[in-house]
A and B are shown apart, each in its own frame.
Chain A
Amino acid sequence: MNKLLLLTRSHLRKNKGTSIGLLFLMLIASMLIGVSLLLMLDAVPLAKKEAARLDAGDGIIRITGGKEAIDDDFIVDCLGDDVERYFISKGLQYSDCSIPFNDGTVLLDAVVVNSSAYDREMARAEIISEDTSVTSDYVILPYIFHSTGNVEIGDDFSIELKGTKENLKVRGFSSTPYFAGTNLGAMELILDDDTYAKLYEKDSETNSCTMIPYELKEGVKQSRFSLKVDSKIIVKAPDSQVSLVTMSNTVTGRTFMSMIIAVSNISTTAVILVVILLMLVSSISNYVRENMKTIGALKAVGYTSKDLNRSLVIQFITISTIGSIIGAGCSYLLMPLIAKFAVAQVGIPYHVSFNVICTVIPVVSVILYTFILAVLSLRKTRKIEPIVALREGVADHNFKRNHFALDKSRSGLNVNLGLKTMMANKKQNAITFFVVGGIMFLCIMSLLMFWNFNLKPKYEIMAFETCGAAITAEPEYKDEVRKFLSDNGGSNVRELDTFHLTYNDEERFYVYITEDASKLNNQNGLYKGKFPKYDNEVALSGKFAREYDFEIGDEIKLDLGDKSYTYVITGFLQSANNLGREGIVTLSGAKHVFDMDKYPSTFYVDTDGREASDELIKKCSDEFGDHLLSKANFYESMEGSLSTFKNLATMMLIIIAAISAIVIILVLFLLIKVLIYNKRKDYGIYKAIGYTSRDLILQTALSFMPSIVISSIVFSFVSYFVANPYMNIVMMAFGICKADFDIPVPGVAIIAVCVNVLSFAFALFEARKIKKIEAYNMLIAE
Chain B
Amino acid sequence: MTNIIKTNKLCKTFSNGGSQQHVLQNIDLEIREGDFTIIMGASGAGKSTLLYALSGMDKPTLGNIDFAGKEITKMNSDELALFRRENCGFVFQQTYLVDSMSVLDNVLAAGYLISNDRKATVAKAKEILKSVDIDESLWGKFPTQISGGEAQRVGIARALVNSPKLVFADEPTGALNSKTGKAVLDALTKFNNKGQSIVMVTHDITSARRGNRILYVRDGEIAGELELGKYVSGNKERHQMLRDFLGEMGW
Given contacts A413-B112, A690-B84, A692-B82, whether A782 and B94 have CB atoms under 8 Å apart is yes
Complex alpha-carbon distance, A439 and B90, angstroms: 45
Whether a CB of chain A sits under 8 angstroms from the CB of B144 is: yes
B residues in contact with A413, CB < 8 Å = 109, 112-113
Task: Please state if B98 and A690 are interface contacts (CB–CB under 8 Å).
Answer: no
Whether a CB of chain B sits under 8 angstroms from the CB of A689 is: yes
Whether a CB of chain B sits under 8 angstroms from the CB of A771 is: yes
Complex alpha-carbon distance, A686 and B109, angstroms: 9
- B166-201 to A contact mask, C-beta < 8 Å, 1/0: 000010000000000000000000000000000000
Task: Please state if A689 and B90 are interface contacts (CB–CB under 8 Å).
Answer: yes
Task: Please state if B86 and A690 are interface contacts (CB–CB under 8 Å).
Answer: yes
Interface residues of A in 654-690 (CB under 8 A from B): 681-682, 684-690
B residues in contact with A775, CB < 8 Å = 57
Q: Within the complex, what minimum Cβ distance (angstroms) separates B213 from chain A?
A: 24
Task: Please state if A776 and B81 are interface contacts (CB–CB under 8 Å).
Answer: no
Whether a CB of chain B sits under 8 angstroms from the CB of A16 is: no
Is the contact region of chain A dominated by helix, strand, or loop, or is it mixed?
helix
Q: In this complex, which of A424, A774, A775 has the most chain B Cβ atoms within 10 angstroms of its Cβ?
A: A775
Whether a CB of chain B sits under 8 angstroms from the CB of A691 is: yes
Whether a CB of chain A sits under 8 angstroms from the CB of B209 is: no
Given contacts A406-B108, A688-B84, whether A779 and B92 have CB atoms under 8 Å apart is yes
Complex alpha-carbon distance, A423 and B105, angstroms: 15
Complex alpha-carbon distance, A397 and B99, angstroms: 9
Task: Please state if B99 and A399 are interface contacts (CB–CB under 8 Å).
Answer: yes
Complex alpha-carbon distance, A397 and B140, angstroms: 17
**How many residues does chain B have at the interface if contact means C-beta atoms less than 8 Å apart?**
38
Interface residues of B in 68-86 (CB under 8 A from A): 77-78, 81-82, 84-86
Complex alpha-carbon distance, A753 and B78, angstroms: 31
Q: Within the complex, what minimum Cβ distance (angstroms) separates B217 from chain A?
A: 17
B residues in contact with A689, CB < 8 Å = 84-85, 90, 109-110, 113, 158
Complex alpha-carbon distance, A682 and B99, angstroms: 8
Complex alpha-carbon distance, A255 and B97, angstroms: 65
Task: Please state if B78 and A694 are interface contacts (CB–CB under 8 Å).
Answer: yes
Task: Please state if A691 and B113 are interface contacts (CB–CB under 8 Å).
Answer: yes
Task: Please state if A405 and B58 are interface contacts (CB–CB under 8 Å).
Answer: no
- A683-715 to B contact mask, C-beta < 8 Å, 1/0: 011111111111000000000000000000000
- A238-257 to B contact mask, C-beta < 8 Å, 1/0: 00000000000000000000
Complex alpha-carbon distance, A682 and B98, angstroms: 6
Q: Within the complex, what minimum Cβ distance (angstroms) separates B128 from chain A?
A: 13
Complex alpha-carbon distance, A567 and B112, angstroms: 80
The one of A405, A685, A692 that contacts B78, using a Cβ cutoff of 8 Å: A692
Q: Within the complex, what minimum Cβ distance (angstroms) separates A429 from chain B?
A: 14
Number of A-B contacts (CB under 8 A): 96
Whether a CB of chain A sits under 8 angstroms from the CB of B104 is: yes
Complex alpha-carbon distance, A399 and B108, angstroms: 18
Q: Within the complex, what minimum Cβ distance (angstroms) separates B47 from chain A?
A: 13
Task: Please state if A690 and B158 are interface contacts (CB–CB under 8 Å).
Answer: no
Task: Please state if A420 and B100 are interface contacts (CB–CB under 8 Å).
Answer: yes
Complex alpha-carbon distance, A686 and B105, angstroms: 13
Whether a CB of chain B sits under 8 angstroms from the CB of A275 is: no
Whether a CB of chain A sits under 8 angstroms from the CB of B122 is: yes
Whether a CB of chain B sits under 8 angstroms from the CB of A417 is: yes
A residues in contact with B97, CB < 8 Å = 685
The one of A397, A405, A782 that contacts B100, using a Cβ cutoff of 8 Å: A397
B residues in contact with A397, CB < 8 Å = 99-100
Whether a CB of chain B sits under 8 angstroms from the CB of A135 is: no
The one of A694, A771, A776 that contacts B57, using a Cβ cutoff of 8 Å: A776
Whether a CB of chain A sits under 8 angstroms from the CB of B245 is: no
Task: Please state if B100 and A771 are interface contacts (CB–CB under 8 Å).
Answer: no
Task: Please state if A682 and B105 are interface contacts (CB–CB under 8 Å).
Answer: no
B residues in contact with A421, CB < 8 Å = 100
Q: Within the complex, what minimum Cβ distance (angstroms) separates B121 from chain A?
A: 9
Q: Could you list which residues of chain A lie within 8 angstroms of chain B, going by C-beta atoms? A: 397, 399, 402, 405-407, 410, 413, 417, 420-421, 423-424, 681-682, 684-694, 771, 774-776, 778-779, 782
What are 25 contact pairs spanning A and B, CB under 8 A?
Answer: A397-B100, A399-B99, A399-B144, A402-B101, A402-B105, A405-B102, A405-B105, A407-B118, A420-B100, A682-B98, A682-B100, A685-B98, A686-B109, A688-B84, A688-B90, A688-B96, A689-B110, A690-B86, A690-B110, A690-B113, A691-B81, A692-B77, A692-B82, A778-B96, A779-B96
9 more A-B residue pairs beyond the given contacts A692-B77, A774-B77, with a C-beta to C-beta distance below 8 A: A399-B142, A407-B125, A420-B100, A420-B105, A682-B100, A688-B92, A690-B110, A690-B113, A690-B114
Q: Could you list which residues of chain B lie within 8 angstroms of chain A, going by C-beta atoms? A: 52, 57-58, 77-78, 81-82, 84-86, 88, 90, 92, 94, 96-102, 104-105, 108-110, 112-114, 118, 122, 125, 140, 142, 144, 158, 162, 170
4 closest A-B pairs by beta carbon, nearest first, are A690-B85, A402-B102, A406-B108, A692-B78
